[in-house]
Amino acid sequence: MSKPSTDFMRWSEIARELPAEETPLPRMPLHVLFGESVEVARFFEKYYRAVRDESGAVIHAGLESVADPTGMPRHPKAITSKTAMEILSLQRAAQEAQTRYLLMVEQRSDVVSRGRFLQGELCATLTYHFDDGVEDEKDAQLARVEAAHARDPDTALALASALDDYAALAAPHRKQIDGLGGFRAAYIDEARLVADELRSRPERLSMMKNASREALLLRNRIVALLAERMSAVRNAARFVFRDRPDVIREVTSTYQRRRRTEARRTRKSTVPPPRSTQIPPPPSA
């Protein structure tokens, strides 16, 4: 894994000081959040300064009118002159945190995923090979192996045991099933090797699982910091430009706006039409 960037290191230190509980993610895909963060930063730079006429008189206040002059906001909803730069820095840090988390998950699941693939290949191939219309000892053996592992826990040791059993059942039929439906006889040998590796690495796999969990928590905390600053800019914009809905629209979330529109459309389509209150005319004589 590459050396952490300055952005990642900076915000990781701050994120780790947040409360220990899980931090909920914003209700949008991360790639959408990252894209909108750049737009919010651009909006901040565009509208930070007040608009003035030729004489220098203020035509309309800018975001600077509500910015904390100390540069050190006292609460999450405060903005400073550095907020745009912080948003962009947090976006880079959050993207890196996401990449690091995914790499850890991939590394942890690599051996386990391969083991599950081999188990699936062995089971499917043996089931097809033994299905000759005659119930014999081969079918009974396969049924016993399947029953033995039907309720296995999701652990490396349980998977190792299943791989050994399926490999032992497949070994006598090696030549017949080699190439059958794309199956390779080498899978039998690989299944045993993977089983040995799973047995020798339970502690390491557990450590990798814990590491990926910590990476996920760190990513969520950095994303929370990013979303917090984006929200601060949007809150400030709604106040400063309360008489300019066209400006406010520039900084609102396009994704959330579309979601709300779709939700309203869905509600309208599911609400039944109102019943008529008109009294029907009396029947004719």
- Residues 23-48 have a mean pLDDT of 90
Is residue 4 left, alpha or beta, with left meaning phi > 0 and alpha meaning psi from -120 to 50? beta
- Residues 45-69 have a mean pLDDT of 89
Greatest extent of the chain over all pairs of C-alpha atoms, in Å: 99
| Helix, strand or coil, per DSSP, at residue 268 | helix
Please answer whether residues 219 and 92 qualify as being in contact, where contact means their C-beta atoms are separated by less than 8 angstroms. Answer: no
pLDDT at 38: 96
Question: If we measure between CA atoms, which residue out of 219, 226, 222 comes closest to residue 88?
Answer: 226
The count of other CB atoms within 10 Å of the CB of residue 52 is 12
Question: If we measure between CA atoms, which residue out of 97, 94, 89, 92 comes closest to residue 1?
Answer: 97
Please answer whether residues 112 and 62 qualify as being in contact, where contact means their C-beta atoms are separated by less than 8 angstroms. Answer: no
Please answer whether residues 170 and 126 qualify as being in contact, where contact means their C-beta atoms are separated by less than 8 angstroms. Answer: yes
Please answer whether residues 184 and 122 qualify as being in contact, where contact means their C-beta atoms are separated by less than 8 angstroms. Answer: no
pLDDT grade for 20, boundaries at 50, 70 and 90: low
What does the alpha-carbon distance between residue 59 and residue 252 come to, in Å, rounded to a whole number? 23
What one-character-per-residue DSSP string does 84-126 give?
HHHHHHHHHHHHHHHHHHHHHHHHHHHHHHHHHHHHHHHHHHH
What does the alpha-carbon distance between residue 133 and residue 279 come to, in Å, rounded to a whole number? 71
Higher pLDDT, 53 or 177: 177
H/E stretch holding 52 reads strand 51-52
pLDDT at 110: 73
Higher pLDDT, 154 or 13: 13
Residue 210 has pLDDT above 80, yes or no: no
| Residue 240 Cα distances to 217, 237, 247, angstroms | 35, 5, 10
pLDDT at 231: 93
Distance of CA 40 to the CA centre of its chain: 22
Percent of the chain topping pLDDT 70: 85
pLDDT at 51: 87
- Give the tens place of pLDDT for each residue, 118-146: 999 999 999 999 987 788 898 899 999 99
Q: What is the pTM of this model?
A: 0.61
Residue 79 has pLDDT above 90, yes or no: yes
Angle at the Cα of 80 (from 76 to 83), degrees rounded to 5?
80
In DSSP terms, 60 is beta-bridged to: 51
What does the alpha-carbon distance between residue 87 and residue 73 come to, in Å, rounded to a whole number? 14
